[in-house]
Amino acid sequence: MKIEKIFSQIVLNKKKKKIIYQDKIVTAFKDKNPQAPIHILVIPNILIPTANDITKKNKHFFTHMFYASLKITKKLNIHKTGYRLIFNCNAHAGQEIKYIHLHILGGKNLGPIICKS
């Protein structure tokens, strides 16, 4: 099953146990392959494939993803120690799933950068 379809099923609560936050606009859940002790994905409740697909009509989903991430970092108690928010767009940035998602990484010192070129 394509991951994009799995994301849609999570939004529809078909995988309820994975959800750590949900409202009318976004859904958040733990990443299946965490890159840090805390690794959460925040997705819009509608399919937007990449950051390039943000439009005037759907831009509120994008800003609400940031707003929800603030609530989540407080809930997980990493808002004071620090966390990283990441969007990847297309292949060269490492986007593997064509469903826009915001990564919340935290729970340890992540260092100054993620990867070296």
For the question of residue 60 being annotated catalytic, the response is no
Task: Say which of 64, 79, 92, 101 is annotated catalytic.
Answer: 101
Q: Is 40 helix (H, G, I), strand (E, B) or coil?
A: strand
Q: How far apart are CA 43 and CA 8, in angstroms?
A: 9
How far does CA 58 lie from the centroid of its chain? 17
Annotated catalytic sites, by residue? 101
